[in-house]
Structure 1
Amino acid sequence: MRALLIVNPNATSTTPAARDLLAHALESRVPLRVVTTTHRGHAAELARRAPLEGIGLIVVHGGDGTVNEVVNGLLGAPEPGSMSAMQIGPVPPLAVLPGGSANVFARSLGISPDPVVATNQLIELLELRERRRIGLAHCDGRWFTFNAGMGLDAQVCEAIDLARAKGHSATPSRYVRTSIRAFFRNRRLEPKLTVEIPGHDPVEGVHYAFVSNSSPWTYLDDRPIAVNPETGFDTGLGVFAMRTMGVAASLPVVRQLLTPGSNPKARKLFRVDDTPRVHVRSSAPIGLQLDGDYIGKRTDVEFVAVPNALTVVAPRLG
């Protein structure tokens, strides 16, 4: 089996020394080609060509954005509204060696955030032929692996992207500071969103909506932040929609999110952990993010769950 190692040198925690160490360890187990990305979209281009070049395994060393690129390159553009993956020909399995700041996708799969430990873990998984089929989700013509959102979190992602462009690292403390600023900047604005899911009346007056494909929604260092704890790669989508930006009403929800094992509940919170699709409409253009990448402003977005969309090299559940 030939393997392709895609390395994003600009990811937060990737270094040439770590890349060489990972490559050397993998080369002792599988024939390996190593490619370092040089521009935005390069990882998707490499993934798109991989099946045609006889690649039997793709390993990504980078952050969640690089993983997202590879998944979109592998699977191609999703069919609008479709709950199945339109795959043409064989799609090689995907393995992830964390190299970003949060590495939510890898950690949600049970992969260690330490790239050296994760490499040893991957080698063992390959020897045991451990693979899983996982569900993904899509919207706006793109796949996402763990989360998406409209409103507040998209603004945060946009600000972080701008900070990265200026050379600032995407640290947990920067995310916290940026989130607090975005919250207070928007707290007096009128809600723009309406959330619709099958089997429920439309939920109006929503300020921001998170859509999850797995849990946790993100990490602050080692602390998991679970907005929809019962959502996973083997369920439908989770929805977390807040109908208030009041400080008094929001602080208890934040405390619940920061408490391990909590099950967030509040009078102004609409939450569902397993739905096949979510339709979010906005009365004015509002930001959209996918897997932590800011996509742009939208007014009408449908999020769709697709079961068994991708094969990954990861520990089996249970």
Structure 2
Amino acid sequence: MIVKFAIVLLSTLARCAVLVESSSTRLGRAAQDIKAGGDGERQTNHLRKMKTVQGGESIAHHDGETINEADSSSFIPGLRALRGEDDSKNWNHGSYAVASKRSGNIKLNVPQDTQVGDTLFLFLSRTDGILPIRLDRWTRGAECFKSDNDQDHCLRASDCIQDDGPYCLRFRDGRMAGNGRDLGTVMFYRKVTGDDPGYWNIDLPGGTTTWAIITAITNVNEQRPIVSATGASCDRASDSVFSSVYGKKNDVLLLSQSFDDTASASDFKPPAGTSLFGWTRSDDEAGFLFGERLDHTGQTGKLITGGPGGSMCKDALLSVVVNRN
């Protein structure tokens, strides 16, 4: 009888130990603060199973109008086997959009369906304030800075002639110069690991509106994540006209639009062949992200949004092709 009791007791203790170990491996227990600074670092896939943790709200509210973020809540829900997925349908694991009115502080949630090994593409935008060109643990992939509405083309990080740590205070490109603060977007990326938190806090200086759209793409080439990228400034059209970029079949095209007026999701409809990945707005700003998986190799050609559009030359556009294996 004593022996039987001891065996039962040991079995119960073993089960408790397994439960304690499982709970200690949960993801997203604390946020990670994103600080402007580092050049980004290569992330490794730890190939360990990630536990499901509770998410947040799935509906983002925008001044009486709502957009369903497809349950884009706070945490990564866990590693799933990718080999069984249909790549033609599951190359994107969700998006998340957020705007912070008159503030540089935002909470950036990871899209709900994100998995270890995915690559996150973050489009960080702002009006009338500074944006970083370096972000700790992220790598910059593309950028477009504007000093005024009629600026002919985007100012790039390589055009910076005066910096302050991770921020550029003044740009010059030929005879064109300016502070790049009228409107801007910087795209950063990073590979998801099992140690990543479920969300990050971004805190930028100054009290101007900041917004971000983040999306998760599968099977991205780690050595060369970006095939091509280009920006467009004053396109002189009420629609937004995205510049042509080169891509290969099965690569992913991402089109980012920052707009220096408020706009509803129906004002700028996805260009032909693309879908709306994310949209957010504030009192005097709006952001859109469109995307598609390319079905052929070559130039994408100029792509134009549908809908009524808005004022000319109030946008900053990025066309980015993601290199997939």
Task: Give the TM-score range, shorter chain.
Answer: under 0.3
Normalised TM-score (structure 1): 0.27
As a proportion of its length, which structure holds more helix? 1
Structure number with larger C-alpha Rg: 2
Normalised TM-score (structure 2): 0.26
